[in-house]
Amino acid sequence: MKKQNNHPLEGRKLYIPRMSTGAARAMAAAFQALGVDAQVSPESDAETLALAAGVTTGEECLPQRVVLGNFMKVMQAPDFDPSKTAFFLPTSAGPCRFGQYAPFLRKYLRDRGLEEVVVFSPTSSDQYGGMAEHVGRLMRTGFRAIVASDILRKCLYMFRPYEKIPGSADRIHDEGLDRICGILSDGSQPLKEQLIGLVQELVMFRDRIADLPLREPRGSRPLIGVVGEIFLRFNSYSNQQIVRRIENAGGEVWIADFAEWVWYTRHEVERKLRESGKRFSPGMAAAKYRRRVQHADEKTLLAPFRDLFRDRQECPVDRVLKYSEPYLPAQKALGEMTLNAGKTVAYYHAGCDGVADISPFTCMNGIVTEAIYPVISRDHDDFPARIFYFDGVPADLDTDLEIFMELVRGYRQKCKIKEQRIKNEE
Ligand code: SF4
């Protein structure tokens, strides 16, 4: 594909927020395929939060402070040039603070005379920020980037707790990610060839990780479903490396993937069209077409993992929402709270031994689900489900985790005894 001209990103470096490093790198590669000089925003650390603290009021949620602080790091670099910089910041009109990220950043820039910096928040109403010409390819490649990085992460978490040589699963994951990004960033490839190339790389990755020498059999550890606020779930700095800590405490993690949010937003678009009497409308036809195309891409990318993911099938989003119905009905309680409640039930049915919900302190989603989990737990054999709050302040997470893991082990033992009793009765 030829490099595009006269769009707002021409001649600029576009910084992608580092939600998960894998997904952010893959998304940057999707932009690179359009000729955009995209790269992932800097790693988060104490400086990130210190910078954000200087300009925020304390009302902002942790993800907003992390994203802002990392963009501020870019602006503090000696070679920062506002006329050559853009920040990627998707937006939403929803009730949570996510919709405030971009306006807040714009105000920050305005107050400092840095209006030349582009805050790139593409929506259909602004012709996708001047990128309308390539939006089809960007959305297609971007979704493939999300699915491919979800697959790599899922495999990493399935194998890493059992690896014989410390670091070997991470190495295979990182090399697989490099190769996937290489394909995604190649704008000369037609979309069909891109998909074939991605599948070939994923097959090679699968074979390498499945060959990893293990020190204990896979599946011998308690399986912890991880749900929660999407940024925090994937940003290991913000969640104090919770996945590693669960692994260090003897567990294995199955994290709700990134694509789940894409399917949820698709589901919501169609629901709103139906409820506004547009069941048969061009908008609905376009929404259904997009869903079918993305579904086909996802199916193709997942096909080589049919066997490996036999006991890691993602619950379709409409079933997740059905599961949440008795607790937080999707028509009344929007967003992550309903997804996380439903996903907890889905993890119970999928054979997990417990669920950890990762939530920013003061986020409404976590506050609501925390109140709901005891009821879900009571309705599902005392399935352990608990929330872990984060606010950027190092806390003694290990003690809390150890208590949670004790509950999980007790539940697992109880399930084994029940299984054995059923077998004996047969
Ligand atoms: S869901 Fe909560 S933490 Fe995430 S952006 Fe919204 S308010 Fe912030």
pLDDT value of position 369: 96
Distance 359 CA to ligand 1 centre (A): 9
Which residue ranges have their beta carbon within 6 Å of ligand 1? 61, 63-64, 96-98, 229, 231, 336, 360, 363, 365
The CATH T-level fold of domain 13-131 is Rossmann fold (3.40.50)
Given a cut of 50, is residue 7 above it in pLDDT? yes
Distance 170 CA to ligand 1 centre (A): 29
The pLDDT > 70 percentage for the chain reads: 96
pLDDT value of position 132: 66
Specify the ligand 1 atom closest to the Cα of 359: 3
Pick the residue whose CA is nearest to atom 5 on ligand 1: 98
Mutate to test the pocket of ligand 1, among 59, 61, 232 (most ligand atoms within 8 A of CB): 61
* pTM to 2 decimal places: 0.93
Please report, for the chain, the start and end positions of each structural domain, with discontinuous segments joined by +: 13-131, 221-258+315-426
Given a cut of 60, is residue 157 above it in pLDDT? yes
| 294 Cα distance to chain centroid | 17
pLDDT value of position 395: 80
What mean pLDDT, rounded, does the chain reach? 93
Domain covering 221-258+315-426 in this structure, CATH number: 3.40.50
Given a cut of 80, is residue 123 above it in pLDDT? no
Distance 330 CA to ligand 1 centre (A): 18
Distance 63 CA to ligand 1 centre (A): 7
Q: Do domains 13-131 and 221-258+315-426 have the same CATH topology?
A: yes
pLDDT tens column, 182-236: 999 999 999 999 999 999 999 999 999 999 999 999 999 999 999 999 999 999 9
